[in-house]
Amino acid sequence: MSAAMRAIAFALALLTAPRVFAAEAKTIKVVYHFTEGLDRSVAALRNVRNHLNAQPGVKIVVVANGDGIDFLLDGAKDKNGNPFDVIVQELSARNVEFRACGNTLVARKVDRSKLIPEAKVVTSGVAEVARLQAEEGYVYLRP
């Protein structure tokens, strides 16, 4: 290989190396979709915690609609009497976002003030899940 060919190959390697490195550093984004009641929320929140432990840099958004919002209601407890707000606060401190469906709140006649502070209301839970996937590249998980 001539010196000129080696120089071109070296230049190409330098140009492509940053892209390869950037691809390796890409943040994984996941939307967890909660649609079931309190019993299922215990296991689903454990999945979120385990996911964070396995991939500390992962970006997680939990979107809840239907009975899935119950764990975000003030005073909600699991069957053993453990309050959900404690684990939600812990996960929020680890940058997990919680979004509750506004349509569900209206349909169930639940005032927004009944949600714990970590929950952000979105107009539609299913529309938010679709938006996160289509516009922001989130992977969908339904625990």
The pLDDT tens digits for 1-41 are 666 555 555 555 555 555 444 445 689 999 999 999 999 99
State which CATH number among 3.40.1260.10, 3.40.718.10, 3.40.50.280, 3.10.105.10 fits the domain covering 26-141. Answer: 3.40.1260.10
* Separation of alpha carbons 71 and 106, rounded Å: 17
* Separation of alpha carbons 56 and 17, rounded Å: 25
List, in order, residues 6 or more apart from 100 with CB less than 8 Å away: 64, 65, 69, 72, 115, 119, 120, 121, 122, 125
pLDDT at 4: 55
Domain boundaries, the chain: 26-141
pTM, whole model, 2 decimals? 0.82
